[in-house]
Structure 1
Amino acid sequence: MSAVFTIPLSPLEKRARNHALLCGIGFLIFLPIGVLVARYTRTYTRTWFGVHWVMQFLISGPIIFAGVALGYMTGNDLDLEPFSDPHQRVGLTLLILYLVQLLLGAVVHFVKLPSVFHGHRAPHNYLHIAVGVTIFILAAYQVHYGLYTQWTVATGGLHLIPDSAKHAWLALIIVSFKT
Structure 2
Amino acid sequence: MFRNFFAACLLSLFAQPVLSAEVLPECSRAGPGLTFCAGADFMRIDKGQNKGISYWLHPKGFISKVLAEKGAALSVTQQAIETRIIEMIDARAGAVGQDFEFVDLDSRSINGAPFGTLTYRLAGPNRSTTVLHSYAALNGVLVQVLSQMSPRSTAEDAAALRHAHFAAVGALKPIGPEAEL
Q: TM-score range with shorter-chain normalisation?
A: under 0.3
Query: Which structure carries more strand by proportion?
Result: 2
Q: Determine which structure has more spread, i.e. the larger CA radius of gyration.
A: 1
TM-score (norm 2): 0.24
Higher relative contact order (CA 8 A, sep 6+): 2
